[in-house]
Amino acid sequence: MRVIVPAGEGRAVKVSTGQRVRVTDLDGGQVGDVFAFAADDVSEHLSASHTRAAISRLFPLVGEQFVTDRRRPILTLVADTSPGRHDMLIAACDPARYRALGVPGFHASCADNLGESLSRLGLACPGIPQPVNVFMRIPVADDGRLSWLSSVSRPGDAITFEAAMDCVFVLSACPQDLVGINGHQPTPLAIDLITQGESER
Amino acid sequence: MRVIVPAGEGRAVKVSTGQRVRVTDLDGGQVGDVFAFAADDVSEHLSASHTRAAISRLFPLVGEQFVTDRRRPILTLVADTSPGRHDMLIAACDPARYRALGVPGFHASCADNLGESLSRLGLACPGIPQPVNVFMRIPVADDGRLSWLSSVSRPGDAITFEAAMDCVFVLSACPQDLVGINGHQPTPLAIDLITQGESER
C-alpha cells in the first residue's frame, strides 16, 4: 500500500508488528518528520532521548531500534538507501517557530500535521513528541555547535523501518521553507506499507 | 534559601522571574537531573529539543537560554564553576531503566523523584520531560557514538540558572549506581535560591 504525503502535509498509517514502513523522498532534498505511537495507547510514543540512552548513539544504525518513553522497542531501522544524514536532535516545527521566523499569519507545520494526521484516524494527539527527522542534515561540531544544512537525499532515496509493536506511524513532509533544510521548496514524500513476505522492492 | 537534596532523592522549589537557582555538587562527581515547568501551567516545560533548535548547540553556553516546548525562555544559564561537562541528550532514569539493568525490585529513579518532588508542592506530574543533566559527562564522538563517563565535577562546583519566567525548578540527585556516571556512589546536591540584590556568593 502506498500513501503519498503531499508537500507540507502529514499522514498517519497503522502498522502491525513485523510490517515494514518505507519512507521515500520522491524528488530528493526533503525532510520528513516521523512520529510513532503504541497502537493500543498513544500516550506511549517513540522517544528520542530514551532511544539515545538505549543505543548510545545520536541516531540508530541499520539493525538498531528506536524505543518508546517506556523503553520498549517500537521501530527497527532495517534499510537506508540515502546518504544516511538524519536528525534526532531538533523539535518539530510549530506555529511558534514560524512566528519567531517572522511569519505573520498561518504557516503549515509538522506539529499541526501530526495532530491532523492522528485526527483523520480518529485519534486525539497526546502531545508533540520529539520527532525522528529523516533526511534532515544537522551535523554536530566538536564544540557542540549544530549546523542547519540542506538535505542531501536524492530522488528515490528511502529509509525503511520495521514495527517492533503494533503502532501508529506518522510522517510529515516538513513545510519548512524559511530555514534552508528543504532547499526552500517543500516536496512530497511517500509511505509504503510492506507486509512480510511481499517484496521489499 | 538553601535546600539540601539528599543522595538519590529529589526536591522542587518555586522560582520567580529574575531569581537565581544555584545547583552545587557538594561532594563532587554527582549528576543532577534538572526539570523546569511554567509556574502557572506545568504542562509547559523546559524542552531539550526546542532548546537545541533555539541555540543551535547541544548545550547552552553561559548567557544562553533554555526554552520550553512552547519556545518561551524559562531559564538562562548565568554561571558555571564546574569543568562544564553537562548533558542534554539522555532521558531520566526510571523503573524500566533499572529493570533492564537487572534490578529485581524497587530502585529510586529521577523519574520517580520528579513526581514525588512535584507532589510535595501539591502539583500533579504532567509527564517526564527530558531533563537537563548537570555534571553528567556524555561525550559525542565524530561518528555519533555516546560514551557514559564518570562526572568530573569537583566538590563545591556549581551551575547557576536565572528564571526567565515564574517556574517550578526540580532537581534530582541521580540515584544511578549501576552505570558509572556517578562513580557508583550517589551523593547529595544543594539548591540555593538567590533573590536579585543578594550576594551571588
B57 touching chain A per CB within 8 A: yes
User: Which one, of A59, A96, A100, lies nearest residue A80 by Cα?
Assistant: A59
Asked if B64 and B80 count as a contact pair (C-beta separation under 8 A), the reply is no
Q: Of the candidates A53, A89, A145, which has its C-beta nearest B91's C-beta?
A: A53
Task: Please report the pLDDT score of residue A180 as a whole number.
Answer: 86
Dist. CA A112–CA A121, nearest whole Å: 15
Contacts of residue A152, defined as CB under 8 A and 6 or more positions apart, other chains included, come to A29, A82, A83, A85, A137
Q: Give the Cα-Cα-Cα angle A76, A78, A81 (nearest 5 degrees).
A: 135
Dihedral sign, Cα of residue A54, residue A57, residue A62, residue A68: positive
Contact A69 B91 (CB under 8 A): yes
Instruction: Give the model confidence (pLDDT) of A145-172 as tens digits.
Output: 999 999 999 999 999 999 999 999 999 9
pLDDT tens track for B59-105: 999 999 999 999 999 999 999 999 999 999 999 999 999 999 999 99
- Residue A87: how many CA atoms within 13 Å on its side-chain side? 31
pLDDT band for position B183 (cuts 50, 70, 90)? confident
Q: Is there a contact between B146 and A100 if contact means CB atoms under 8 Å apart?
A: no
Which residues does residue A32 pair with via DSSP β-bridges, in sequence order?
Answer: A134, A173
pLDDT of residue A201: 47
Is B90 in contact with A52 (Cβ distance < 8 A)?
yes
* The three cell numbers locating residue A149: 544544512
Taken in order A155, A156, A161, A163, the sign of the CA dihedral is positive
pLDDT at residue B199, rounded to an integer: 55
Q: Which residue has the higher pLDDT, B3 or B184?
A: B3
What distance in Å separates residue B80's CA from the closest CA in chain A? Answer: 17
Long-range contacts of A192-196 (CB under 8 A, 24+ apart): A192/A1, A192/A2, A192/A3, A192/A21, A192/A22, A192/A24, A193/A1, A193/A2, A193/A3, A193/A13, A193/A15, A193/A19, A193/A20, A193/A21, A194/A19, A194/A20, A194/A21, A194/A22, A194/A160, A195/A19, A195/A20, A196/A18, A196/A19, A196/A20
Q: Tell me the per-residue pLDDT of B120-145, one tens digit each, with 9 for 90 and over.
A: 999 999 999 999 999 999 999 999 99
Closest residue in chain A to residue B44, using alpha carbons only: A127
pLDDT of residue A28: 96
For A70, name the nearest residue in chain B, comparing CA atoms only.
Answer: B96
Whether the predicted pLDDT of B201 surpasses 50: no
Residue B170, number of CB atoms within 10 A of its CB = 30
Residues of chain A with pLDDT under 50: 201
Spell out which residues of chain A touch residue B142, defining contact as CB-CB under 8 Å.
142
- Residue B140 DSSP class: B
Q: What ipTM, to 2 d.p.? A: 0.96
Mean residue pLDDT of chain A comes to 96
Predicted local confidence at residue A183, as pLDDT: 75
Q: Does A16 touch chain B (CB under 8 A)?
A: no
Share of chain B above pLDDT 70, in %: 97
Q: What is the mean pLDDT of chain B?
A: 96
Mention every residue, 6+ apart, whose C-beta is less than 8 A from residue A110: A10, A33, A92, A93, A94, A131, A172, A174, A175
**Interface contact flag, B56 A147, Cβ < 8 Å:** yes
Alpha helices (H) in B34-146, listed in sequence order: 48-55, 95-100, 110-120
With left for phi above 0 and alpha for psi between -120 and 50, is residue B115 left, alpha or beta?
alpha
| pLDDT at residue A109, rounded to an integer | 98
